Amino acid sequence: MTTPRRLLLVNGPNLNLLGVREPAIYGRETLADVERIVSDAAAARGFEVRAVQSNHEGVLLDAIHAARDDCAGIVINPGGLTHTSVVLRDALTGVGLPVAEVHISDVRAREAFRQHSYISDIAAVHVAGEGVAGYARATALLIDVIAGHAEG
């Protein structure tokens, strides 16, 4: 069986407000910009992207579960669920796909509650504090993991 040439891009709660929510922290780029950045980075390596954003945890879980059927990996910015969601972590480990965790801001330099991630120890790739451009790097690094060119 061949590895699918598709990635799932998951953006969690409040990321639909990119461009208008706290631009000093998150920038002026929009969710559409993020989706284009990831699609372009993936296409450059022969991958396509299915994107999902929701403010509802169950919608994200369902998308992650479905990814096991036709995706090779998951690029995820869980938003605030990073710091709170054991079930999101369980979904990611349950599907057995490599994961790239992305954060637009440097969560390690922010409030104490933002410095804990339920995702970080299961993710093969971590990118934080690079703005939305970090999504492109996370995508490329994840594809390297999938292709066996990096440790996962």
Catalytic residue ranges: 26, 103
| Cβ-contact 11, 53 below 8 angstroms | yes
Gap between the Cα atoms of 66 and 91, Å rounded: 10
In the annotated binding site for substrate, the residues are: 77, 83, 90, 104-105, 114
Neighbours of 8 (CB within 10 A): 23
- Using DSSP, state whether 143 is helix, strand or coil: helix
What is the phi/psi pair of residue 73, to 5°?
-170, 175
Q: Which of 25, 36, 47, 4 is nearest to 135 (CA)?
A: 36
* Binding residue numbers: 77, 83, 90, 104-105, 114
